[in-house]
Amino acid sequence: MLQVATIKNNLDKYVNGLQKRGFKGAEELLNDVLTLDENRKRIQGELDEVLHESNKIAKEIGQLFKQGKKDEAEKAKTRTSELKQKSKTLTEELNGIETSLTKHLYNIPNIPHESVPVGNTDEDNELVKLKDKNIPNLGDHKKPHWDLIEEYDIVDFELGNKVSGAGFPFYKKQGARMVRGMINYFLDKAAEAGYEEVQPPVVINEASGLGTGQLPDKEGQMYHMEANDLYLIPTAEVPITNMYRDVILKQDELPVKHTGHTPCFRREAGSWGSHVRGLNRLHQFDKVEIVQVVEPEKSYEVLDEMVSHVENLIKSLGLPYRILRLCAGDLGFTAAITYDFEVYSAAQEKWLEVSSVSNFETYQANRLKLRIKNKEGKKELAHTLNGSALALPRIMAAILENNQTGDSIKMPEVLHPYLGFKEITRR
RNA sequence: AGAGGCGUGGCAGAGUGGUCGAAUGCGGCGGUCUUGAAAACCGUUGUACCGCGAGGUACCGGGGGUUCGAAUCCCUCCGCCUCUGCCA
């Protein structure tokens, strides 16, 4: 969430930033926010005065009772009724303004970093790096992964349909082992890079959803359990980042680096089509996430560090990949900048997004009330960042397709120790 | 799930209607002393908002209520503990 004071001091910058995103009516909305804030201050001031007055009288009454001057005390009571009425009115007015103000702020996205390219759709995303030399020539054996998984019996969508529904597959045999192996590999690599492992809950409350910005923006995209008013997490970002909600970090606790594996649940409402097949899009998938909380001055340096961590992971798996800097229009609600990683899946001849790494600057921290106490003892909002390292199903799809030989599917060497086999075979 | 108890500042722990933003201890910070450190002693030490400032307001798990006045009384929600029950 943006800070009112910052909006006020940088109105043009914020208007431009939102317009860059294609956000309609930015100027009007921001002006509304400023007006609401002005009103808030004014009413708060009036209320404070009224409360001051009635506090004073209440104290006097206390004194009078103590001195046994009951009559005078009773008389003083009558003076407060008008004040009470006034404070009630003002409080209601204030609550109304504050509700409206937060609602406005909740619905304003982050503004893009200056390096974010202009654009409206994914076609305007900027290609930062392309490593496609190792795209295999599959020749005669060029089966998409949805055929391969049936042939080798490693993922079962039918079974998933029966037990849960579409988009909830069973991984079987060497497929199940592959999932477990990749999770362990990714977690080990994150640990090597200094990320402390956590295993967070996979359900979150409303406050956490608001904290990282999934709510109210993505309300309809999360599974909601009404009986308990809890949500299934769409990413480990939510529980892990919310570990630091209402926290003031000391300098020596920084940087905060966490990694965690969780299943991720997404309703993907409205995003299904004929182009979505196999592992390309699921309602439940596994992901290893990396999260950092850092000082503002260091966040862009840290962003680069996270980008290269993800890049090294993909490289180590031997997959062709490209890195994109998302254009303003394609940027997530809370992000100031995002790098997407895509791997090339050679049989379906498609680039698949497998990671996105983002800097949220103070946007989440402001909602989370996540602050840093700096050397001078002053508190400032932290910067939060996160990235997928990595999301599994599409990685799996690319490995299966790119490494098929006709008789087997070769596994990347780095995974061998994690799998207990070097290739997937028909059995 | 049922019964009972509890939820106070970084921590521990007083406080059952006014003088309480809150005793006391520990911890933290500053100082005295010391070659240095410890101990001892002195001082200081919550957060947010408004205001140039003086100062004001709010906050004792969350929300609501009673009252001139609430940490204190009532309602409700959440959480924790104990016992009973149930169950990975």
Whether pLDDT at A380 is above 70:
yes
pLDDT at residue A273 in the model: 67
A96 beta carbon < 7 A from strand B? no
What are the pLDDT digits (tens) for A210-222?
Answer: 999 998 888 889 9
What are the pLDDT digits (tens) for A382-413?
Answer: 999 999 999 999 999 999 999 999 999 999 99
pLDDT at residue A142 in the model: 94
pLDDT at residue A104 in the model: 92
What are the pLDDT digits (tens) for A32-45?
Answer: 999 999 999 999 99
Q: Which nucleotides of B are covered by protein (CB under 7 A)?
A: 18-19, 47-51, 56-58, 68-69
The separation, in Å, between residue A382 CA and nucleotide B46 C1' comes to: 21
In this prediction, residue A293 has a pLDDT band, given cuts at 50, 70 and 90, of: very high
Q: Which residue has the higher pLDDT, A252 or A241?
A: A241
Residue A386: name the closest of A289, A254, A286 by CA. Answer: A289
Nearest nucleic acid nucleotide to A66, CA to C1' distance: B18
pLDDT at residue A272 in the model: 66
B58 nearest neighbour residue (CA to C1'): A48
Residue A259: name the closest of A195, A189, A182, A355 by CA. Answer: A195
What is the average pLDDT across A273-296? 91
A45 beta carbon < 7 A from strand B? yes
Whether pLDDT at A228 is above 90:
no
The separation, in Å, between residue A273 CA and nucleotide B27 C1' comes to: 61
Phi-psi region at A131: left, alpha or beta (left = phi > 0; alpha = psi -120 to 50) = beta
Residue % of chain A over a pLDDT of 90: 80
pLDDT at residue A274 in the model: 58
Q: How many CA atoms lie within 13 A of A116 on its CB side?
A: 31
Whether pLDDT at A111 is above 90:
yes
pLDDT at residue A427 in the model: 73
The separation, in Å, between residue A323 CA and nucleotide B6 C1' comes to: 55
A227 phi, psi to nearest 5 deg: -55, -35
The separation, in Å, between residue A53 CA and nucleotide B57 C1' comes to: 11
Whether pLDDT at A288 is above 90:
yes
Q: What's the mean pLDDT when you consider all of chain A? A: 93
In this prediction, residue A11 has a pLDDT band, given cuts at 50, 70 and 90, of: very high
* Inter-CA distances, A243 with A116, A249, A291, A352, A360, Å: 29, 12, 11, 31, 16
Window 54-83 of chain A: CB closer than 7 A to strand B: 54-59, 61-62, 65-66, 77, 80-81
What are the pLDDT digits (tens) for A320-330?
Answer: 999 999 999 99
A381 beta carbon < 7 A from strand B? no
Nearest nucleic acid nucleotide to A80, CA to C1' distance: B68
Q: What is the ipTM of this complex?
A: 0.86
Residue type, position A370, single letter: L
Domains of chain A from N-terminus onward: 4-106 (1.10.287.40), 122-425 (3.30.930.10)
Residue % of chain A over a pLDDT of 70: 99
Whether pLDDT at A234 is above 70:
yes
Residue A360 near residue A385 (C-beta atoms within 8 A): yes
Q: Which residue has the higher pLDDT, A5 or A78?
A: A5
